[in-house]
Structure 1
Amino acid sequence: MMSFLPSEPRPLRILLAEDDEQMRSMLTLTLARAGYAVVALEDGYELADYVSLTQVCGGPLQPPDLILSDVRMPGRTGLDVLAQAQLAGLSCPVILLSSFADEETRAEARRLGVRAFLDKPVDLDVLKETVRQTASGVM
């Protein structure tokens, strides 16, 4: 586990929800190598549970700085959890990933304030740049 001195900035905390194990591992490794702290979750249920346990919602966990989520996952979709997070007061930027995004899904994502929508298979360099820009407020 890394320890940071008080004068060092802490790495951006990314909450990653992806139901495909290989994709989740690849995204986690890519983002960790880029210097981000990644909390990897298996599906929409785990994402919803994490969101409900953040300090914003009265729980013990630090809220994420950014959420990166697949749209279609077993149980709860990324859009379902985003709506739940907003109702709870969690206001971090969100990037969605999807292999099957139709215009209705994209419109709903825009309505919910999603900062970026990336199609799978995602180019890892594009992902890293999108995360950087989103985290810095450029997008």
Structure 2
Amino acid sequence: MSTYILVVDDEPDVESMFRQHFRRDLRASRFVMEFANSALAALEQVKAIADPSLILILSDINMPGMSGLEMLAQVKTARPNVPVIMITAYGDDGTKRKAAELGAAGLLTKPIDFGLLRQEIDVRLSHAS
């Protein structure tokens, strides 16, 4: 069974940036990274990826249409055991509080600290095995 991480962001360069930072992990098949360019597309993928293989969702907050926070509420209803880490350029206290209230497992600010993110992924992988 493959282990999936879903990355949700409307910026076109995000997928290549994540694939570059995690290329060794992806080549070694430690996990599979799926990408969605909108919250609606992500919700479809959340439904499509079987339990318990989806171990983490990383989502931007500010996206056109449905925001990451609106998506978070729906994801937590559909898949309450899947941790969601929100990503934002604006890490103010109000955003952190709102994300936590909606069930986010954490909040990362841009530019992303990929070392910290790798540690978080390693924790999720150890829980999944």
Fold equivalence (TM over 0.5): yes
Cross-structure match for 1:62: 50
> SS in structure 2 opposite 1:73?
coil
Aligned counterpart, 1:36:
31
Q: Which has the higher contact order (CA 8 A, sep 6+)?
A: 2
Counterpart CA distance in 1 for 2:19 and 2:36 is 10
Q: Deviation per CA, 1:25-59, whole angstroms, max 9, x where unpaired?
A: 211342353232011111212112223x33xxxxx
Query: Do structure 1's residue 72 and structure 2's residue 67 form an aligned pair?
Result: no
Corresponding pairs, count: 121
Higher CA-based Rg: 1
Q: Where do 5+ consecutive residues of structure 2 fail to align?
A: none
CA contact (8 A) 1:66 1:135 kept: no
User: After the TM superposition, which residues 1-139 of structure 1 pair with which residues of structure 2 at under 5 Å, given as runs?
Assistant: 10-34=1-25, 35-51=30-46, 53-54=47-48, 61-63=49-51, 64-136=54-126
Q: Percent identity?
A: 29
Root-mean-square deviation (CA), in Å? 2.0
SS in 1 for 2:13: helix
Amino acid at match of 2:19: T
Which structure 1 segments of 5+ residues have no match? 1-9, 55-60
